[in-house]
Amino acid sequence: MSDFTVMGIVNVTPDSFSDGGWWLDADAAVEHGRVLSAEGAGILDVGGESTRPGARAVDADEELRRVLPVVERLAADGHTVSIDTSKLAVAREALAGGARYVNDVTAFRHDPGMAGLVAETGCECCLMHMRGEPRTMQEDPRYGDVVDDVKAFLSERAAFALAEGVPQERIQVDPGIGFGKTTTHNLQLLRRLDEVVALGFPVVLGTSRKSFLGAITGREAGERLPGTIATQVLGLERGARVFRVHDVGPVVQALQVAAATLAAP
């Protein structure tokens, strides 16, 4: 009931929404990953392309140039490294370089061959819900019932991964907070996260510093840690298992206390 893993975010990008450019240099990114690990991150999620609303796409060569040295060095240190990419070529090189987890925000839609690669290499994967693509996803997002629609999408994507040979226990799912959703959609997904958990796959939750927290509190991205913690604790209580965050130390502490409370006799 109380097990959780914190996934620390290592953005090797010039334009990520809250820390773009901070860790673009490989040495800085590796050092940042080591710090997040020391703070309690069980997985380090290395990404070389921003997916913020309106973000510009990056080609595979540029993405690899950014992430590969960072993946290789963190993996060589013994950290569990996830590659945050939707490109087959990037995932392939990152796995060869020691990554053990593929975090694909397109849930294998951008590159269906990704499922076969995950099956072949025996790594784990996260399938995330997104409406449309980052460039346009925030243009008037609409759903029938957002929770039902996200569940149907994730079920279909998980069935695809299973059919391609990825074993059930290596699949995790993510409702994709902030990806083609209004503030109300994000809050409905959080409030009813237990329904996503009921699909039977470990649920990954990524709320860290996101704009719906700013819409509620009026705070800038760098000031959204308290709001982030509120959502992560609620997510734990509803059964989420992996928490993707920028501020690892404070979130680990909050989740330790929340987990101990939930486990109290």
Summarize as ranges the residues that interact with ligand HH2 (CB under 6 A).
9, 11, 13, 16-18, 47, 50-52, 84, 103, 105, 126, 128, 174, 176-177, 204, 206, 244
Determine the Cα–Cα distance for residues 190 and 207; give it in Å rounded to an integer: 10
Catalytic choice (157, 181, 224, 244): 244
CB 66 within 8 A of CB 27: no
Determine the Cα–Cα distance for residues 136 and 79; give it in Å rounded to an integer: 35
Residue 145: name the closest of 185, 194, 193 by CA.
185
**CB burial string 85-116: b at 16+ within 10 A, e below:** bbbbbbbbbbbebbbbbbbbbbbbbbbeebbe
Structure tokens at 154: 């994730």
Give the amino acid at 263: A
Nearer to ligand HH2, 13 or 232 (CB): 13
Structure tokens at 259: 């987990």
User: Is there a catalytic annotation at residue 244?
Assistant: yes
Nearer to ligand HH2, 37 or 231 (CB): 231
Nearer to ligand HH2, 16 or 188 (CB): 16
Nearer to ligand HH2, 97 or 202 (CB): 202
**Shortest spacing between CB 177 and ligand HH2, in angstroms:** 5
Determine the Cα–Cα distance for residues 193 and 171; give it in Å rounded to an integer: 17
**Shortest spacing between CB 136 and ligand HH2, in angstroms:** 15
User: Is there a catalytic annotation at residue 210?
Assistant: yes
Residue 150: name the closest of 136, 123, 129 by CA.
129
Catalytic choice (73, 92, 210, 224): 210
Residue 235: name the closest of 216, 207, 257, 215 by CA.
207
Residues pairing with 83 in the sheet = 46, 102
**Shortest spacing between CB 265 and ligand HH2, in angstroms:** 34
Nearer to ligand HH2, 76 or 139 (CB): 139
Determine the Cα–Cα distance for residues 59 and 217; give it in Å rounded to an integer: 36
Catalytic residues: 210, 244
